[in-house]
Amino acid sequence: MSKVPRNFRLLEELEKGEKGLGPESCSYGLADSDDITMTNWNGTILGPPHSNHENRIYSVSIECGPNYPDEPPKIKFVSKVNVPCVDSTTGEVKSSVFHTLRDWKRAYTMETLLLDLRKEMATPANKKLPQPKEGATF
């Protein structure tokens, strides 16, 4: 398999995001539709069922740097959330703690990241953690 360069990879992800991801549990798109570098993205995660996140929609911002996807993107919660892998003051997902960022692989996408975060919110250890008021932001 040849290595798809950053920009063409991001264009593929953009097109997939525009079509909508299967089960609608996550979404993402360019933050600025004029940004030819395709660096900043907005995403949403629908809170997983049977958890304190149920029916909530969490906004995140994603930054794909010049070395994406060889290096993981930076991702930050805009909506307040209480999960151990998320910095409680900045909303940043800690790359040293969250496995998908820590053990990043080139084949991973923004979709992988959002779906894995959603799973993380639903683990037995995390799903009943008390959550901030709905709609609060970092």
Partner 1 sequence: MASLPKRIIKETERLVSDPVPGITAEPHEDNLRYFQVTIEGPQQSPYENGVFNLELFLPDDYPMEAPKVRFLTKIYHPNIDKLGRICLDVLKTNWSPALQIRTVLLSVQALLASPNPNDPLANDVAEDWIKDEEGAIKTAREWTEAYASKKDQKSTN
Q: CA 123 to CA 110: how far, in whole Å?
A: 20
If one asks whether residue 67 binds partner 1 (CB under 8 A), the answer comes out as no
Candidate segments 7-15, 55-63, 71-79, 118-126, binder of partner 1 by CB under 8 A: 7-15
Residue 36 engages partner 1 in binding (rule: CB under 8 A): yes
- Give every CB contact of residue 82 below 8 A, 6+ residues apart in sequence: 88, 129, 130, 131, 132
For the bound state, the minimum distance from the C-beta of residue 15 to partner 1, rounded and expressed in Å, comes to: 10
Cα–Cα distance for residue pair 71/65, rounded to 1 Å: 8
Q: Which stretch binds partner 1 (CB under 8 A): 4-12, 57-65, 80-88, 127-135?
A: 4-12
Side chain identity at residue 126, one-letter code: N
Interacting residues with partner 1 (CB under 8 A) = 1-5, 7-8, 11, 14, 33-36, 38
